[in-house]
Amino acid sequence: MPSREAYVRPTAPIIPLLAKELREITAGRALWTMLLLVCPLVGYSFVQAVSLYSASSAAALQSPVLARSLSPLDGILVPTFGSFYVAVTLLFPFVAIRVLGQEKESGALRLLVQLPYRTSTLIAAKLCAVLAAWVMVSIPALSALFVWAILGGHLAAPETLNLLFGHLLYGLLAGAIGLFAAVISDNSATAAIIALAVTIGSWVLDFAFAGRSGLSAWLAELSLTQTLRPFEQGLLSAGLVLGIAAVIGGLIAMTIVWLPPGTPVRAKIIRSVSSVLVIAAGLGVATQIRASVDLSEDRRNSFSRADERLLATLRRPLVIRVNLAAEDPRYIDLRRNVLAKLERVMPDVTIVLASERPNVADPSDDYGQIEYVYDDRTDVSRSTSPREILPLLYALAGVQPPTSSVGEDYPGYPLVISADAALLWFFGGLPVLIALAWRRIRGAPPDKGSLVHQGDKP
Amino acid sequence: MSTVNNRSSPDRSAPLLGVRNLTKRYGSDGTAIDSVTFSAVAGEILGIIGPNGAGKTTLLEAVAGLLPVNSGDVFWRGEPLHADRRRDVLFYLPDGVRPYQDQSAQQVVAFVGSVFRRSKEDITSTIEALGLQPVLRKRVHALSKGYARRLMLTIGLLAPHDLLLMDEPFDGFDLRQTRDVMDLLRHQTAGGRTLILSIHQLPDAERVCDRFILLSAGQVRGSGGLAELRAQAGLRNGCLEDIFLALT
């Protein structure tokens, strides 16, 4: 029998642990079932999106003005990845739960926690497995991008990568929810109920409180759905990324807290409270960070470059008092077309929202007015268009409006094409390839498989 | 097969592991183990003996730091050993576990061997010693109860720790297999390893263990070698079953 003394080491190699986690997640049915379900879901969405885009393009080919409104980000990428988002929300937690739930149910967790790894290392390896699983289930959506490119469609790298990054963060968020649900549950069924309660519950939050003000607006902001919207608009927001990272980190921290079976529940609860406070602090900091980059090719989140340069020189505080209710469509327009852009480019902007709804019985003339205060000068407008508001601001600041730049206009990318043949790929070719890969992985392990990993010999 | 009576007694001067007043209660269900105190010395096989429900598994998991306890302490070579550090010095092999059921036995063994940095020769010799070769390519969920037990024992023996806690290590083996495994465990202690085994089959325990902790309803009803237990029970020639019945 082997001698033991030589092997007593405080730490263990990470590669076998990662390999084990990857084997575990690919050995289960959950991942492959989800992958097979995502194929037709994404495929159908993609073909429908191309069909609608093509119909719009047919009219736009004769009109450059119409063509400018045709962006593949809105027309193709967002709807295609929208179905992927639904699949990730509803199915991916099951995949993530399996990463931990299987070991809890089989009792293998009691072996795992005795191995010479830190608990954080164990959970980090599981998060890597979740990441790998997300990459696998995104294959149908990624293949849709290739099909679009093959069909001659336009893809702008920055906005496409930004959208992918948003979905990656969302996938990790769903995975972290699944891991935490698994660690606090006795079995996978309970974990699934908890995870779905969170994901579907956040949809309800979004539907119920969207467009409202005050606490309702704050609750709606907590919805998971909100995490993807800026990415879908081509915006990379540092605050949002930090906020999502804080929530993922907090959930992972709580998973680490709850994993060791030998820790008393009371201690776990106390440590969890600390994690929740850290998450709250992270979210608080995230809300204060305004830095963002507009990665959309049509610069939908920005004023023209000349306007941005000039606005950035207006260093004094700008106070905007909006006499509109938060759910008023005019405020939503103003927010999207002007306020959000001003906040991104000007150093000191304060927006005061009069959130009360107008009294129908006693309508006030003030409702709908937007007051701009800059450097002790004041002006009032009811417009929600930057064409009227920017000259107003320049007048308040006493500067000349910039001359409009030439060649900055987004050309648009109309494309009349049919993607019906791609259905063969999404409903036939890709599922068959996935089934073959599943069968190969589920097959007997290779006879020549080494009993020890390369490089791990003492 | 040697028995407890004709083996040389281990050195009892320095307890490797000490357990003092360990108590675990499960809510309103009552006390699972109640002020359990015992010690294990280096190189011995200590049997935790008792019927089903006596608290054997709870005791082992509490000692291994896998179960929070209400009170009590564990010592390693006389020094307090916090629950977080127990995995550094001991390894617990639970009962009824089929780890990583969708992976092959070979993959599971290779994983554990790699984690503990065991050489290919070590892994191979452990597999051969436990007769696991015929099922290496089978998935764990397809293993028979006996082979699943061998797989678990392989995992345990690949662990480099000085102290192994094993919950029902002979469950699922027939008589011949049980004796073979006993020989293997005895060989382990000859190499300096200490074993604490939870066993509910008293004849098995009598064959393999140097000393015994008799556990009933979560309490220690007797402890020591067979001769000491006979003295405690007032039985001159009784077997372990007789002693257990007399003391519990």
Q: Determine phi and psi for B34, rounding to 5 degrees.
A: -130, 105
The b/e string for A404-429 (b: 16+ C-beta within 10 A; e otherwise) is eeeeeeeebbbbeeebeebeebbeee
Q: What percent of chain A has pLDDT over 90?
A: 60
**Distance (Å, whole) CA A83 – CA A46:** 9
Contact B117 A13 (CB under 8 A): yes
B146 touches chain A (CB under 8 A): no
**How far away is chain A from the Cα of B36, in angstroms, using its nearest Cα?**
18
Residue % of chain A over a pLDDT of 70:
89
- Cβ of B66 within 8 Å of Cβ of A28? The answer is no
Average of per-residue pLDDT across A108-114: 95
pLDDT above 50: residue A455: no
**Is the Cβ pair A116, B115 closer than 8 Å?**
yes
Instruction: Tell me what the mean pLDDT of segment A188-207 comes to.
Output: 88
Average pLDDT for residues A287-298, to the nearest whole number? Answer: 88
Nearest CA in chain B to A442: B102
Residue of A1, A95, A103, A105 for testing the chain B interface, max B β-carbons within 10 Å: A1
Min Cα separation B139/chain A (Å): 8
Q: Which residues contact A325 (CB under 8 A, 6 or more apart)?
A: A213, A331, A354, A355, A356, A357, A358
Q: Do A457 and A171 form a contact (C-beta atoms < 8 A)?
A: no
**Token pair of A160 as six digits:** 């496409």
Q: What is the pLDDT of residue A11?
A: 78
A1 contacts in chain B (CB < 8 Å)? 125-126, 129, 157, 184, 187-188, 191
Residue of A nearest to B125 (CA): A1
pLDDT over 70 at B235, yes or no: yes
Residue-wise pLDDT for B170-199, tens only, equals 988 888 899 999 999 999 998 889 999 999
| Non-local CB neighbours of B171 within 8 Å, separated by 6+ positions | B95, B149
pLDDT(A48) > 80: yes
Residues B73-104 have pLDDT tens digits of 999 999 999 998 999 999 999 998 999 998 99
Touching check for B81 and chain A: CB below 8 Å? no
For position A214, what pLDDT does the model report? 65
Question: Of the given ranges (A206-210, B95-99, B224-228), which has the lowest mean pLDDT?
Answer: A206-210
pLDDT reading at A339 higher than 80: yes
Chain A residues within an 8 Å CB radius of B61: 110
| B67 contact residues in A (CB cutoff 8 A) | 261-262
Query: What's the rounded mean pLDDT across residues A194-205?
Result: 87
User: Residues B25-55: pLDDT tens digits?
Assistant: 987 768 899 999 999 999 999 999 998 889 9
pLDDT at residue A57 is higher than 80: yes
Residues in chain B: 248
- The answer to whether the CB atoms of A27 and B103 lie below 8 A apart is yes
Q: Please, what's the largest Cα pairwise distance for chain B? A: 53
* pLDDT for position B246: 87
For residue B235, give how far its alpha carbon lies from the nearest alpha carbon of chain A (Å).
39
B116 contacts in chain A (CB < 8 Å): 7, 12, 116
- List the structure tokens of A456: 């791990």
Amino acid at A150: I
Q: For an interface test with A, give the residue of B69, B103, B111 to mutate (most A CBs within 10 A).
A: B111
**What average pLDDT does this structure show over B137-165?**
94
Chain B positions touching A450 (Cβ under 8 A) are: 110, 120
Question: Tell me, which fold does domain B14-247 have in CATH?
Answer: Rossmann fold (3.40.50)
Lowest pLDDT segment from A286-300, A402-416, B233-247: A402-416
pLDDT of A232-269, one tens digit each?
999 999 999 999 999 999 999 999 999 999 999 999 99
Sheet containing strand B163-167, edge to edge, reads: B90-93, B163-167, B194-199, B45-49, B211-216, B219-224
Chosen for mutation from B88, B90, B101, B118 (greatest number of chain A CBs closer than 10 Å) is: B118
Of A113-122, B65-74, B239-248, least confident by mean pLDDT is: B239-248
**A116–B106 C-beta distance less than 8 A:** no
Q: How many CA atoms lie within 13 A of A403 on its CB side?
A: 2
pLDDT at A360 over 60: no
Average pLDDT, rounded, for chain A: 87
Q: CA-to-CA distance for A338 and B102, rounded, in angstroms?
A: 56
A303: Cβ contacts below 8 Å, ≥ 6 apart: A311, A341, A345, A386, A390
**pLDDT over threshold 70, residue A128:** yes
Domain range list for chain B = 14-247
Name the pLDDT band for A140 (thresholds 50, 70, 90).
Answer: very high
Q: How many CB pairs under 8 A join A and B?
A: 153
Task: Find the mean pLDDT for residues A193-219.
Answer: 78
Mean pLDDT of A414-436: 94
Return left, alpha or beta for B75; rule: phi > 0 is left, psi -120 to 50 is alpha, else beta. beta
Residue A452: the pLDDT is 52
Task: Give the pLDDT of residue A458.
Answer: 35
Q: How much is the pLDDT for A211?
A: 63
Split at pLDDT 50, 70, 90, the class of A364 is low
Is the pLDDT reported for residue A457 higher than 80?
no
Best residue in B84, B91, B116, B139 for a mutation probing chain A (most A CBs within 10 Å): B116
Give the model's confidence band at A81: pLDDT under 50 very low, under 70 low, under 90 confident, else very high. very high
Is it the case that residue B169 has pLDDT exceeding 80? yes
Among A70-74, A138-142, A394-398, A439-443, the minimum mean pLDDT is found in A439-443
**Model pLDDT, residue A406:** 61
The residue ranges of every structural domain in chain A are 13-294+418-442, 305-397
Separation CA A457–CA B114 (nearest Å): 8
DSSP for chain B, please give it: ---GGGSPPP--SSEEEEEEEEEEEEGGGEEEEEEEEEEEETT-EEEEE--TTSSHHHHHHHHHTSS--SEEEEEETTEE--GGGHHHHEEEE-SS---STTSBHHHHHHHHHHHTT--HHHHHHHHHHHT-GGGTTSBGGGS-HHHHHHHHHHHHHHS--SEEEEESTTTT--HHHHHHHHHHHHHHHHTT-EEEEEES-HHHHHHH-SEEEEEETTEEEEEE-HHHHHHHHT-SS--HHHHHHHH-
- Using alpha carbons, select from A299, A319, A425, A309 the residue that is nearest to residue A377: A319
Contact across the interface for B115 and A23, Cβ inside 8 Å = no
pLDDT grade for A201, boundaries at 50, 70 and 90: confident
Instruction: Say whether residue B103 is in contact with chain A using an 8 A CB cutoff.
Output: yes
CATH architecture assignment, domain A305-397: 3-Layer(aba) Sandwich (3.40)
Predicted confidence at residue A40, as pLDDT, reads: 96
Q: How many Å lie between the alpha carbon of A239 and the closest alpha carbon of chain B?
A: 37
